Amino acid sequence: MEALQTIDTYLSISLKVILRLFYKLSIILLGIFGFVLSINDIFEYGNILADLSNIEIIFLLVLLGLFERHYKYCKLLRTGFWRMLASPFLSLGILFLFYIFIIGFGSIISECNVSFQHCSVSKVEKTSIDLFLQPNLIQSSNFILMLISIYLSTPLLIKKQQVKVDL
């Protein structure tokens, strides 16, 4: 009986490890996919530098700076190679998963609006919806959220004295 409990325990632990590995790997792959899509969106016409807008140039420069910051902090803290490589994409994967949720929620809402065409939408609401769905606004917000996501994925050295908070 004790042997069955031991087998059950090890089986449970190994399945949890496999599930956690699958979860992290799929989020990292989502992050890589989202990063490649965003970079592909910048170079959408095939011209390397001719079709870059000012916002895209600023984004690329800040992105390079954030990746350099990430590399320096990881090197300073002696973070392992795979963790250094995976942490920005894990953060971007969570962001991309959030995008997928928002797009799915938006499609459900738009499907409901198609079903209930007799409901009237005022011009002010329609204008604000159209303003929100502008490609430049979506791309700029995507860039800002990507930069914040990469900034937050950098490991930090925190001393116990710095974390002390008086309540």
Q: How far apart are CA 53 and CA 100, in angstroms?
A: 26
Give the pLDDT confidence score for residue 123 in this predicted structure.
Answer: 47
pLDDT digits (tens, 9 = 90+) for 39-80: 888 877 777 777 778 888 899 999 999 999 999 999 999 989
* DSSP state string for 50-78: TT--HHHHHHHHHHHHHHHHHHHHHHHTT
Give the pLDDT confidence score for residue 124 in this predicted structure.
Answer: 45
Helix/strand number for the chain, H first, E second: 6, 0
pLDDT digits (tens, 9 = 90+) for 97-152: 888 888 778 777 777 765 555 555 444 445 445 555 566 777 788 888 899 999 99
